[in-house]
């Protein structure tokens, strides 16, 4: 019988001689010394012996030694030799395994046969040897692959090699699968016990877990499955549990790629052996782990969390029974573990409670467990970590998708999701938006969620319920959702039969209540109760009413989020915008109230610089309005154009132009729009026709050929009878004329030139359009004339003359000018204000268009010149003389002089519009002085506000054109913008100030303060325009940030939310410029805001926002020093500081507390102690410094932390000292004032007492001084304004009394009835001397800096009552 084989610690250990009679290598052969031919013969001989002899031949010493030698030098073998050796060993082991089962049958027949035991021992030896050698082959080959780093090469060549050549991956899989199969045989028979040898299992498990550390090896599915089987079998079948659990946890803490495979191994073991002990042990070990350990090991926490989620997905019922071990980790600090546990609960709710069969008691327990899990998930929506809140909301979305949320819980989840839309974290908001999208998509209430529809249907079924229930119960019908009756199943969800009834009702609701928001439809439905479907008995009706109420609440909840969604669309986070748009699209699909209006708010986002935001808006626009049939898409677009404001129209024009360029707006859609414009669609209104033309004008900006095919229709319909029905149609037609291409304009002029100009002239000079429309139409009509007329100035002059003649008679102009000069309005009374206003508008607008026309002509000339120069330069046949001449011109600067001449002509032409270059002024130049004088007549302007609005607008336009005219009227403009009673006039003038600052910056520079003053206007419109104008000027570097920027900061807390948001946007953009100008402006802003009459809350909000825009650490550190120096700017007085100084200390310290302190910043704060030490006496200042210290301790290193603690002690000590000094100084001041008052009292009262002494003695009354009346009042005022702190004084007084008891005795002064004059006089004299001495000593003590203590006792400061004939006084006398 061969010696026993025991697994050595490694392969080389077999060469060590054993004293226990174990099998070891005696004659190893050095494979590397053999030649290749000898090596092949050697391998063949070994393979022959293994195949020809018995399976147990491997026990023979010679065979054992030779096999060992080959495996030791396995890396040196050729591929064919490797294949022969591996196949021989593998085939022998595969044949050996069935023999073990046959041994079990033989052993049962021959129980006491000794040779059977020897055969079992031989089988065991051979089994262990084959297993040992095969596993070592795997380990050696894998180590070689890792060293050579050629795993990719071998994997890529796997399919190319023939079957008979060496390929390691399939061989590895076969070996490991064979070892996994070997664990399934009757090993207890081989090893003689219920469990195999510990040495055998340890060897197998150790090496298998080492293979799990190879990520490349696990990519082979067959190998990975074999390894998972081996782990599951060893741990579960052979109870190798403790070591396996420890190894699994160690691997998961170390490598993230093993998590899924480990979960697969654990789940496979439970499924194969119906034994979840391995999973339970792992959960138990995870539950026992200290939660603080996961805070340090973040990678391990994430991997363990993933493992739990994978396990819950595969073994939900087993995990649900052990979830109690994991719930305590919700209280841990690791958010990754909490995230994983939330996901685990979600998996369990979805999969762990589907099977509700069993006893009623167990079913009840499972349902309570499920309800507890849902409650935990709801609670975790308010977790302290944003990552956990986000993950929990994602879990709720998965539950909604799997229909695992009951109707009773639906609205609670929806309310939580709606509340999380305002979360401070972007990832939480994103998850909340996605959850609401999922809830809408999978809602159990139907495809329409209009509130009116639900209310109408609910009202009908409530009536039906009342009919079925003659004595309604007092409880709410909502109890039907959670009752245990036959309408709900065990999960708290509506039974399938009841859901069918709800479906029928919702379907009927869609059919019969599609327009239930209309009054007549709703009334009809309410009155017609017979149309309500019958859902069955009382309980079913009650459950249906409860479902409808839940649906109504859900609809209202989603509809209530619309204001929040509008705010989210303005978020700086692109994910907020994108997901908000997706939610609004889903809301529109389900017809949620308010979603249509909110979607229109997204149109301005097409101007976003963020590409993802623009793409989201474009995709939503195409999905909602374009992705339909042509007629419906055209109707959607024209309705958008009709209902949009100016800003939305600009955004719509931009996106329509982009879609036309991309081809998303097809020709069929353009044809449908023309059909609406030409009234070819039945039921088309004039307003819809105008909307269609407006969209066509937008499309024409990208494709000029769109309008040319219907020029005649534009003229006939746009300026025909339909224009009187829809006056804005004429304005839109004028826009269409401006959008014509150059070729189309020529075509129009050749066919209808005279007619079209006549129409435009009539539109401008006639009065058939209402005033509200005329100005807008005349604006576009004049623009159209300048766009298509070859010489627009000639037609424009005729327009001005006709307008003038319609206002005045032939000789009326001079008379009007004279009366304007005299301040008389008699002539103006004979002139219609409307006509004069229109005339001023025409004159000013013609002047503006003339300026634009001159600039366009200059640009055209410059383009032609550049084109000519480019053509000449590219020409190959330029004569030498011409080249020489051009070179001379360039040297002499003649080319530059041509540009100068062009600029001079342009400047002259612009100046002639208003001022004129000759003695005689031109047409508009004659109007300018009249306009200026008209606007200066304030009495007249106040009498006619409409005329003032038109006149000031015309004046501003003329000022924009001419610099001299602007300079002459600037003071008038600022007077009007400050004092005009009309909000419209002030608002218009504020906007013009921005244009003037761009055109004439030097003229406006001295008026900068006045421009900032518009931010304080009482009108919301004026303030809003002022913020917009100043933002435009500053952000585009057209105006320097002056010292008045604090006015803009005040707008951060404006009562109007839109103005506040605009100011925040301004400072946000300003912080992006250069090195953040806010950093340099902050100290100045702080100083000026401290002097403003601002609420403390407003100041804090402003400074918090501004400081939050400073991100750089260096700037924060520099601000510490700058702000500390602000304390020094506030002087410290000997008496208590003024309220203004204290307030400034508080404000500066608040700003310091808002800074993000770094290590250098804290050091600077400590070094600047002298600058703010005097302010530490204030409790509020000290509180802010404590906040700074508490924040700094969180990031401080140990060395800095000790310094901070010393600094904190220093602050506290100094604070207490300053408080004591302040109290002492205040008490001393009060004492000094009272002593001085009593001296005056004695001096002034002595004479009066002597005069009245005789009367006093005779009457038997008390001594009194009439002059004390005013004195008493002043003492009372002092005592009220400077109260003494009795507690502190009493403590000190006791000490003084003990130390000075023997020196001076303090006695109370009493007022006696006087019997004689000398006695009274003596007493008064003594009292006066005593007071004088006390006063002098007190002054000396104060000057010397000695602390003066006021002693309060029953004998000191006693009230004495003094009375005269008319008045009674109470005097508080202090004695020392």
- 1030-1044 per-position pLDDT tens digit: 999 999 988 888 778
| Confidence category of residue 186, pLDDT binned at 50, 70, 90 | confident
The candidate with the shortest Cα–Cα distance to 553, out of 418, 463, 393, is: 418
- 845-861 per-position pLDDT tens digit: 999 999 999 988 888 88
pLDDT at 1253: 46
**Whether residue 138 has pLDDT greater than 70:** yes
Yes or no: say if 801 and 761 are a contact pair by the CB < 8 Å rule. no
* Average pLDDT for 679-706: 90
Q: How far is 1007 from 1009, CA to CA, in rounded Å?
A: 6
The candidate with the shortest Cα–Cα distance to 966, out of 1000, 1006, 926, is: 1000
* Average pLDDT for 1152-1158: 85
**Whether residue 412 has pLDDT greater than 90:** yes
**Whether residue 1272 has pLDDT greater than 90:** no
Distance of CA 456 to the CA centre of its chain: 39
| Confidence category of residue 369, pLDDT binned at 50, 70, 90 | confident
- 602-625 per-position pLDDT tens digit: 999 999 888 899 999 999 999 999
| Confidence category of residue 1072, pLDDT binned at 50, 70, 90 | confident
DSSP of 48-89? HHHHHS-GGGGGSHHHHHHHHHHHHTGGGS-HHHHHHHHHHH
Exposed, middle or buried, 1175 (CB in 10 Å: 0-12/13-18/19+)? buried
Q: How far is 62 from 28, CA to CA, in rounded Å?
A: 9
- 1119-1143 per-position pLDDT tens digit: 888 888 888 765 444 344 567 778 8
Higher pLDDT, 407 or 1262: 407
**Whether residue 1277 has pLDDT greater than 50:** no
Tell me what the pLDDT averaged over the chain comes to. Answer: 78
pTM of the entire predicted model? 0.72
| Confidence category of residue 490, pLDDT binned at 50, 70, 90 | very low
pLDDT at 1173: 82
* Average pLDDT for 148-176: 61
**Whether residue 1059 has pLDDT greater than 70:** yes
- 805-842 per-position pLDDT tens digit: 888 754 444 555 555 455 444 444 467 888 888 899 99
> Please, what's the b/e burial string for 1124-1134 (b: 16 or more CB within 10 A of its CB; e: otherwise)?
bebbeebeeee
pLDDT at 551: 92
**Whether residue 1260 has pLDDT greater than 60:** no
DSSP of 186-234? -HHHHHTSSS--HHHHHHHHHHHHHHHT-TTGGGSHHHHHHHHHHHHII
Kindly give, in sequence order, each residue whose CB lies less than 8 Å from that of residue 326, ignoring residues fewer than 6 positions away.
283, 286, 287, 308, 341, 344
Q: For a pLDDT cut of 70, what percent of the chain falls above it?
A: 77
pLDDT at 1363: 36
- 80-112 per-position pLDDT tens digit: 888 888 888 888 888 888 887 776 666 555 544
Yes or no: say if 1008 and 1047 are a contact pair by the CB < 8 Å rule. no
- 899-943 per-position pLDDT tens digit: 788 888 888 888 888 876 444 557 787 888 888 899 998 888 888
pLDDT at 165: 53
Q: Which range, of 75-79, 221-225, 381-385, 1302-1306, averages the lowest pLDDT? A: 1302-1306
Higher pLDDT, 893 or 1301: 893
* Average pLDDT for 456-465: 86
Higher pLDDT, 1325 or 206: 206
pLDDT at 1033: 92
Q: For a pLDDT cut of 90, what percent of the chain falls above it?
A: 26
pLDDT at 13: 83
> Please, what's the b/e burial string for 227-261 (b: 16 or more CB within 10 A of its CB; e: otherwise)?
bbbbbbbbbbbbebbebbbebbbebbeebeebbeb
Q: Which range, of 281-290, 363-372, 464-473, 1359-1368, averages the lowest pLDDT? A: 1359-1368
**Whether residue 330 has pLDDT greater than 70:** yes
Higher pLDDT, 498 or 22: 22
* Average pLDDT for 570-592: 91
| Confidence category of residue 471, pLDDT binned at 50, 70, 90 | low
Summarize the chain as % helix, strand, coil (round to 5): 75, 0, 25
pLDDT at 1162: 85
pLDDT at 881: 56
Alpha helices in 944-1014 (DSSP H): 945-961, 963-979, 983-999, 1001-1004, 1008-1013
pLDDT at 1129: 60
- 252-263 per-position pLDDT tens digit: 999 989 999 999
pLDDT at 872: 76
**Whether residue 7 has pLDDT greater than 70:** yes
Higher pLDDT, 177 or 1364: 177
Local structure of 995: helix, strand or coil: helix
| Residue 560 CA: distances (Å) to CA of 411, 417, 418, 966 | 13, 12, 9, 51
**Whether residue 584 has pLDDT greater than 90:** yes
Higher pLDDT, 1166 or 162: 1166
Alpha helices in 875-944 (DSSP H): 880-892, 894-914, 923-936, 938-943
Higher pLDDT, 811 or 1234: 1234
| Confidence category of residue 1258, pLDDT binned at 50, 70, 90 | very low
- 1200-1224 per-position pLDDT tens digit: 778 888 888 888 888 888 778 878 8
Yes or no: say if 660 and 610 are a contact pair by the CB < 8 Å rule. no
pLDDT at 1311: 37
> Would you state the structure tokens that stand for residue 98, as one six-digit string?
């069935």
**Whether residue 1326 has pLDDT greater than 50:** no
pLDDT at 1354: 37
- 987-1041 per-position pLDDT tens digit: 999 999 999 999 999 999 999 999 999 999 999 999 999 999 999 999 998 888 8
Local structure of 1317: helix, strand or coil: helix
pLDDT at 1323: 41
The candidate with the shortest Cα–Cα distance to 413, out of 473, 334, 346, is: 346
pLDDT at 1252: 47
pLDDT at 920: 52
- 518-554 per-position pLDDT tens digit: 333 333 333 334 456 666 677 888 888 888 999 999 9
Higher pLDDT, 335 or 507: 335
| Confidence category of residue 467, pLDDT binned at 50, 70, 90 | confident
* Average pLDDT for 415-439: 94
């Amino acid at each position: 019988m061969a010696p026993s084989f025991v697994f050595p610690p490694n392969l080389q250990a077999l060469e060590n001689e054993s004293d226990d009679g174990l099998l070891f290598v005696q004659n190893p052969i050095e494979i590397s010394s053999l030649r290749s031919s000898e090596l092949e013969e050697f391998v063949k001989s070994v393979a022959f012996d293994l195949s020809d002899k018995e399976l147990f031949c491997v026990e023979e010493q010679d065979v054992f030694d030779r096999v060992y030698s080959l495996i030791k030098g396995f890396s040196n073998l050729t591929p064919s030799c490797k294949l022969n050796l591996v196949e021989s060993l593998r085939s022998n082991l595969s044949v050996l395994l069935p023999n073990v089962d046959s041994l079990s049958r033989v052993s049962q027949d021959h129980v006491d046969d000794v040779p059977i035991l020897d055969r079992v021992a031989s089988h065991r030896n051979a089994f262990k040897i084959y297993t040992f050698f095969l596993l070592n082959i795997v380990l050696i080959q894998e180590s070689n692959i890792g060293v050579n780093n050629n795993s990719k090469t071998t994997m890529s060549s796997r399919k190319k090699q023939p079957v008979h050549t060496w390929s390691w991956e399939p061989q590895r899989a076969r070996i490991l699968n064979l070892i996994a199969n070997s664990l399934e045989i009757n090993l207890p028979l081989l090893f003689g016990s219920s469990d195999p040898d510990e040495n055998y299992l340890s060897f197998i498990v150790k090496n298998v877990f080492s293979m799990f550390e190879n990520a490349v090896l696990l990519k082979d599915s067959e190998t990975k499955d074999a390894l998972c089987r081996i782990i599951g079998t060893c741990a579960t079948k052979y109870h190798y549990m403790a070591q396996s659990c420890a190894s699994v946890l160690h691997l998961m803490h170390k490598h993230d790629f093993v998590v899924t495979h480990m979960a697969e191994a654990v789940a496979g073991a439970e499924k194969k052996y119906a034994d979840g002990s391995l999973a339970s042990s792992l959960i138990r070990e995870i539950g026992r782990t200290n939660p603080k350990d996961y805070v340090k090991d973040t990678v391990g926490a994430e991997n363990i969390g993933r493992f739990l989620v994978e396990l819950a997905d595969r073994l939900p019922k087993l995990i649900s029974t052990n979830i109690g071990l994991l719930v305590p980790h919700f209280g841990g600090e690791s958010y990754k573990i909490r995230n994983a546990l939330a996901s685990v609960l979600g998996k369990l709710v979805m999969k762990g409670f589907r099977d509700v069969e069993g006893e009623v008691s167990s079913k009840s327990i499972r349902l309570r467990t499920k309800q507890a899990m849902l409650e935990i998930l709801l609670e975790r929506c308010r977790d302290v970590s944003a990552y956990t809140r986000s993950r929990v909301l994602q879990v709720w979305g998965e539950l909604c998708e799997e229909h695992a949320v009951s109707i009773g819980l639906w609205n609670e989840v929806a309310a939580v999701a709606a509340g999380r839309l305002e979360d401070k974290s972007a990832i939480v908001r994103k998850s909340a938006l996605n959850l609401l999208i999922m809830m809408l998509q999978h809602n159990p209430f139907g495809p329409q969620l209009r509130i009116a529809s639900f209310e109408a249907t609910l009202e009908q079924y409530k009536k039906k319920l009342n009919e079925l229930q003659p004595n309604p119960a007092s409880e709410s019908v909502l109890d039907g959702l959670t009752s245990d009756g036959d309408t709900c199943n065990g999960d708290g969800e509506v039974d399938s039969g009841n859901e069918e009834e709800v479906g029928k009702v919702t379907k009927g609701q869609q059919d019969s209540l599609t327009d239930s928001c209309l009054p007549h439809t709703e009334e009809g439905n309410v009155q017609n109760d017979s149309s309500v479907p019958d859902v069955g008995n009382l309980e079913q009706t009650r459950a249906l009413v409860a479902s409808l109420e839940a649906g109504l609440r859900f609809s209202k909840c989603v509809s209530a989020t619309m204001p929040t969604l509008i705010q989210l669309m303005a978020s700086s986070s692109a994910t907020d915008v994108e997901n908000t748009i997706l939610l609004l699209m889903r809301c529109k699909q389900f017809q949620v109230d308010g979603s249509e209006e909110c979607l229109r708010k997204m149109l301005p986002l097409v101007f976003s610089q963020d590409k993802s935001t623009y793409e989201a808006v474009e995709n939503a626009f195409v999905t909602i309005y374009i992705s339909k049939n042509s007629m419906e898409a055209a109707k959607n677009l024209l309705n958008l154009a009709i209902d949009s404001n100016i800003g939305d129209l600009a955004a719509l024009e931009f996106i329509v132009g982009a879609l036309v360029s991309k081809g998303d707006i097809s020709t069929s859609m353009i044809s449908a729009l023309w059909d609406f414009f030409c009234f070819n669609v039945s039921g088309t209104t004039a307003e819809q026709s105008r909307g269609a033309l407006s969209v066509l004008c937008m499309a024409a900006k990208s494709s000029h050929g769109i309008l040319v095919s219907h020029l005649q229709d534009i003229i006939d319909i746009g300026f025909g009878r339909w224009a009187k029905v829809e006056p804005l149609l004429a304005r839109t037609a004028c826009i269409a004329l401006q959008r014509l291409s150059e070729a189309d304009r020529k075509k129009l002029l050749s066919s209808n030139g005279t007619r079209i100009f006549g129409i435009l002239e009539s539109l401008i000079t006639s009065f058939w359009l209402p005033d509200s429309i005329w100005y807008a139409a005349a604006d576009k009509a004049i623009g159209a004339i300048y766009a298509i007329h070859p010489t627009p100035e000639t037609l424009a002059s005729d327009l001005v003359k006709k307008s003038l003649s319609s206002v005045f008679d032939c000789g009326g102009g001079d008379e009007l000018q004279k009366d304007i000069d005299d301040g008389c309005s008699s002539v103006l009374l004979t002139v219609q204000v409307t006509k004069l206003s229109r005339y001023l508008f025409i004159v000013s607008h013609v002047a503006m268009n003339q300026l634009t026309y001159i600039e366009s002509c200059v640009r055209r000339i410059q383009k032609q010149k550049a084109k000519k120069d480019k053509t000449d330069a590219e020409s190959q046949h330029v004569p030498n003389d011409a080249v020489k001449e051009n070179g001379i011109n360039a040297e002499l600067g003649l080319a530059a002089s041509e540009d100068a001449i062009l600029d001079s002509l342009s400047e002259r032409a612009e100046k002639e519009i208003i001022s004129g270059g000759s003695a005689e002024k031109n047409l508009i130049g004659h109007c300018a002085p009249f306009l200026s004088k008209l606007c200066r007549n304030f009495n007249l302007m106040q009498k006619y506000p409409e005329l003032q609005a038109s006149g000031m607008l015309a004046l501003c336009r003329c000022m924009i054109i001419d610099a001299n005219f602007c300079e002459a009227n600037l003071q008038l403009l600022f007077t009007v913008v400050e004092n005009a009673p009309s909000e419209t006039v002030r608002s218009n003038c504020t906007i013009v100030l921005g244009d003037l600052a761009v055109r004439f910056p030097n003229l406006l520079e001295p008026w900068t303060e006045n421009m900032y003053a518009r931010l304080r206007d009482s009108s919301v419109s004026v303030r809003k325009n002022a913020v917009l104008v100043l933002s435009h000027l500053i952000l585009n570097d057209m105006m320097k940030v002056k010292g008045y920027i604090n006015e803009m900061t005040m707008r951060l807390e404006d009562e109007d939310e839109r103005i506040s948001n605009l100011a925040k946007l301004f400072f946000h953009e300003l912080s992006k410029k250069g090195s953040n100008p806010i950093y340099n402006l902050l100290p100045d802003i702080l100083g000026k805001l401290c002097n403003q009459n601002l609420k403390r809350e407003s100041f804090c909000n402003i400074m918090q926002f501004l400081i939050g825009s400073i991100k750089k650490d260096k700037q924060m550190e520099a601000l510490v020093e700058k702000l500390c120096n602000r304390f020094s700017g506030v002087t410290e007085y000997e008496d208590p500081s003024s309220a203004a100084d204290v307030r400034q200390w508080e404000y500066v310290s608040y700003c310091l507390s808002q800074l993000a302190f770094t290590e250098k910043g804290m050091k600077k704060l400590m070094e600047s102690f002298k600058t703010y030490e005097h302010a530490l006496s204030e409790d509020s200042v000290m509180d802010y410094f404590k906040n700074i210290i508490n924040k700094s301790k969180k990031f401080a290193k140990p060395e800095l932390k000790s310094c901070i603690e010393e600094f904190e002690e220093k602050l506290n000590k100094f604070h207490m000292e300053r408080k004591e000094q302040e109290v002492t100084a205040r008490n001393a001041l009060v004492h000094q004032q009272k002593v001085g008052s009593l001296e005056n009292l004695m001096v002034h009262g002595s004479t009066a007492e002597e005069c009245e002494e005789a009367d006093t003695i005779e009457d038997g009354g008390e001594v009194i001084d009439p002059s004390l009346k005013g004195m008493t009042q002043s003492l009372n005022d002092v005592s009220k304004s400077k109260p003494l702190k009795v507690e502190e004084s009493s403590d000190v007084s006791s000490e003084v009394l003990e130390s000075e008891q023997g020196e001076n005795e303090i006695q109370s002064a009493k007022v006696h009835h006087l019997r004689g004059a000398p006695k009274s006089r003596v007493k008064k004299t003594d009292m006066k001397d005593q007071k004088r001495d006390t006063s002098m000593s007190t002054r000396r003590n104060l000057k010397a800096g000695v602390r003066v203590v006021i002693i309060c006792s029953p004998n000191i400061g006693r009230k004495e009552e003094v009375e005269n004939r008319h008045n009674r006084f109470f005097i508080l006398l202090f004695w020392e």
